[in-house]
Amino acid sequence: MNIDHAAEGPTNRRRGWIVVIALLLSAASMIIFGVWALVDATSFVDYVNYHPNNDHIVRDAGAFQIGIGVALLVALLSSDGPLVALAGFIVASGLHTASHYIDRHVGGHESDVPLLAVVTVIALIGLAKRWYDLAVARGFSR
């Protein structure tokens, strides 16, 4: 099930703006908070408001590791970068959202679950658009 035909040619023009926006927002949400946690862990822990260290942080780390694992598995089916990246991100982000929902009584902010869910939905829209574009490129259009 290699679906690489749409990956050929100029990358951003072939992907379309919906997929590009989904990739950029997904990457930004991961990189910004990841760098913050790496560079200034104390400030990051203060922001997420989960004191002291607890199981929630471990669940979050597990969510991201599962997302990376799913991306690696999807890469076995397709070498299409946006499809692989969005699939892994959706799993990690969805599990991360669930972790915040489960631990909402422990800490965090009321806005955490809805904001994390919005980021996940944006990525889902991007994945659906990418999947559709690849299907059209292979001749599976309506």
Q: What would the pLDDT profile of 8-39 be if each residue is shown by its tens digit?
A: 444 445 557 888 888 788 888 888 887 787 66
What pLDDT score was predicted for residue 98?
92
Rounded mean pLDDT of the chain? Answer: 83
Domain for residue 74, yes or no?
yes
Domain for residue 41, yes or no?
yes
Domain for residue 8, yes or no?
no
Reported in sequence order, the residue ranges of 5-105 that DSSP labels E, i.e. its strands, are: none
| Residue whose C-alpha is closest to residue 131's, from 95, 86, 89 | 86
Domain for residue 140, yes or no?
no
Q: What would the pLDDT profile of 97-131 be if each residue is shown by its tens digit?
A: 999 999 899 889 999 999 999 999 999 999 999 99
DSSP 37-79: HHH-HHHHHHHHT--S--HHHHHHHHHHHHHHHHHHHHHHH--
Residues 113 and 100: beta-carbon distance below 8 Å: yes
Percent over 90 (pLDDT), the chain: 37
Alpha-carbon distance of 80 to 2, in angstroms, equals 9
Domain for residue 59, yes or no?
yes
Query: 3-class SS at 87?
Result: helix
* Total tally of structural domains belonging to the chain: 1
What pLDDT score was predicted for residue 38?
67
What pLDDT score was predicted for residue 11?
47
Residues 70 and 91: beta-carbon distance below 8 Å: yes
Domain for residue 83, yes or no?
yes
- Residue 92 structure tokens: 């990690």
Query: Domain range spanning residue 106?
Result: 15-135
What pLDDT score was predicted for residue 57?
81
Domain for residue 42, yes or no?
yes
